[in-house]
Structure 1
Amino acid sequence: MIEKILLADSGTGNSQEMLRALMEIPSIQRASVTVLHVVPEQVTSEAMSQRWEDGGKLLGKAVESLKLDPNRVSAILRQGDPKDVVLKVADEMDADLIIMGSRGLKRLVSILENSVSQYVFQLTSRPMLLVKDDIYVRNLSRITVAIDKSEAAKQGLKLALFLLRDIKGGQLNLVNVSSDPKATDKTGAEAEKDAVFAGAIADAKRLGINYRCIVTRGKAGEAICRAAEDVKTDLLILGSPDRRPSIAKGLPDLDRLLGTSLSDYVRVYANCPVLLTRTMG
């Protein structure tokens, strides 16, 4: 399910730690990894040469520090706008997963500050694993998935099960935010009675994965982040519809960027790495 991973490495942040944590999972160890570093264009040739040299050194250190199978890792050094280059390389290699660091900027700030991760997230239809610069990356054992009846949620569950099936003692936390204003918070056996969890529970039992169901209330983004923190999750998976603009893929969809977006809220406020799975639509 994850056979090609693109690590967009800027030289800062926790993206390398995130990849190392993923590579502890047996099913991920078979994946090939491409480490990408992008050198921004410079005004002078001297500055460009220096940036190119520095980028090459950074890339070499990154590959060395990851300690991956040499037969399964490659390095790419490109020149250009990082946002566009990440998207282009992901398409070229047909990546199954993009890993990027994130400063956790809010929507408007991310636009004004030209956020690379926000731009890539907006335009790609590929799963993205975003890890903020200010969080601690732990070994993956407790994975939380936001569950509803959408196809996006099903994709998120599928990926969570793929990861957890090879994690000894792993825990799947299934979170549903109820739209019923009269609903009460429920966990465990009481929450399992909710029909929204039926398919997920069946899949977890079939694979022998420990699970816990949580029904909570409130604004969806806040409730999901709160539930993930309560169970001390190591990775939060959220299904997100494909958000590429309908008019032109090459232009950011500012209306959606500035609107109320569940995935935007979670990527900014969750206190753990966030994996956003995508569906077309």
Structure 2
Amino acid sequence: MIEKILLADSGMGNTEKMLKVLMEIPLIQRAQVTVLHVVPPQIGAEAMTKKWEEGGKTLASAIHTLNLDAAKVTAMLREGDPKDVVCKVADEIDSDLIIMGSRGLKGLKAILDNSVSQYVFQLASQPMLLVKDDLYSIRSIRRVLVAMDPSDSAQAGLKYAIALLRDVKDSEIILVHTISNLKNKVDDAITANPASDPVLAPAVAEVKKYGIKYRCLAPEGKPGARICDLADDLNVNLLVLGSPDRRPSIAKGMPDLDRLLGESLSDYVRVYANCPVLLTRLAG
């Protein structure tokens, strides 16, 4: 499922640490990795040459830090607008996953401050693993929270979580259905009788096939806030959230303004979650 990974390396943040943690997972160890650094256009040949040199050093440092098998890693230095280049390269290499850093900007501020990760998420068809630049620590992935709903993208997220954890010892998947008949506060979230929930029941059946430990939670309240609260309360290492593409085919090349302005669940979680967030969608 994850055979080709694109790491968009800006020279700052936690993306390299995230990939090193992912490489502890058997599934990811088989993947080919492309490490991309984008050099924005500059005014004047001298400035451009300097930026290329800096970019080359950043890329070399990233490759050295990652310490990957040379046969499984490709370094790529490109010029252009990072938002456009990341999307283009992801399509060129047919990436299964994009890893990017995020400043956690929200709404209009993300637009005005030229948030690369936000725009790439809007326009890319691949799942994205977003890692905040200011996360305190990135830990081995053992406990994964999967936000469930009836959408195909949520089902895709569950499949990703299972694929990541199926060969990881002592791992756990936490299945959360925030829009549910089971009304419980976060502190009293249920751990039994998921069969009474039409979303959790089939998810549990799927997880059981692989012998992965699981819990089911169905807290009441606003979905975004409850998901983030649970991620904190349960000390999860990764949050997986399906993000359906609401845009019609004619608008595939344009950002979804509702999301850009912070009017979506995925945007809320992207901004407020205190752990890495894997945003999944079905390839269009």
| TM-score bracket, shorter-length normalisation | over 0.9
Partner amino acid, structure 1, of 2:117: S
Answering whether residue 276 of structure 2 is matched by residue 279 of structure 1, we say no
How far apart in 2 are the matches of 1:132 and 1:206?
A: 33
Maintained 8 Å contact 1:242/1:280 = no
The alignment covers a number of residue pairs equal to 280
Alignment-mate amino acid for residue 151 of structure 1: D
Which residue is 1:23 aligned to? 23
Q: Is the 8 A contact 1:172 1:211 kept in 2?
A: yes
SS at match of 1:265: helix
Percentage of pairs with the same residue? 63
Give 2:173's aligned residue. Answer: 172
What residue in structure 2 maps to residue 3 of structure 1? Answer: 3
1:17-55 per-position Cα deviation (integer Å, ceiling 9, x unaligned): 110110100111000000000011110100100110111
Name the amino acid aligned to 1:233: V
Structure 1 residue 157 corresponds to structure 2 residue 158 = yes
Q: Which residue is equivalent to 2:45?
A: 45
| Cα distance in 1 between the residues matched to 2:259 and 2:154 | 20
Q: Kindly indicate whether residue 202 of structure 2 is the aligned counterpart of residue 204 of structure 1.
A: no
Cα distance, 1:279 vs structure 2: 2.3
Unaligned regions of 5+ residues in structure 2, if any? Answer: none
Q: Structure 1 residues 244, 65: CA separation in 2 closer, same or farther (over 3 Å shift)?
A: farther
One-letter amino acid matched to 2:67: K
Q: Deviations over 1:195-219 (max 9, x none)?
A: 3211121122111100001010111
What 5-or-longer segments of structure 1 have no aligned partner? none
In the alignment, structure 1 residue 107 sits paired with structure 2 residue 100 = no
Deviations 1:89-135 (A, max 9, x none): 00000000000000000021000111100010011111000000111
**Which segment drifts farther, 182-191 or 130-139?**
182-191
Alignment partner for residue 192 of structure 2, among 173, 177, 189?
189
| Partner of residue 131, structure 1 | 131
Letter in 1 for 2:64: E
Supply the AA of the counterpart residue of 2:39. Answer: V
Tell me the C-alpha RMSD between the 2 structures.
1.6
Given the alignment of the two structures, is residue 253 of structure 1 paired with residue 256 of structure 2, yes or no? yes
Q: 1:263·1:276 contact (CA, 8 Å) conserved in 2?
A: yes
Q: Using structure 2 for the length normalisation, give the TM-score.
A: 0.94
- Give SS of 1:177's match: coil
Over residues 128-148 of structure 1, what are the superposed CA-to-partner deviations in whole Å (9 max), with x where a residue is unaligned? 000001112111000010012
The Cα of 1:190 is off from its aligned counterpart by: 4.3
Quick one: distance in 2 between partners of 1:93 and 1:206?
32
Q: Is this contact kept in 2: 1:125–1:242, CA < 8 A? A: no
State the distance in 1 between where 2:196 and 2:134 align: 37
The 1:148/1:253 distance shift into structure 2, 3 A limit, reads closer
Residues 243 and 149 (structure 1 numbering): CA distance in 2 closer, same or farther, change over 3 Å? closer
The one-character-per-residue Cα deviations of 1:177-197 (angstroms, maximum 9, x if unpaired) are 1355x8224321145642321
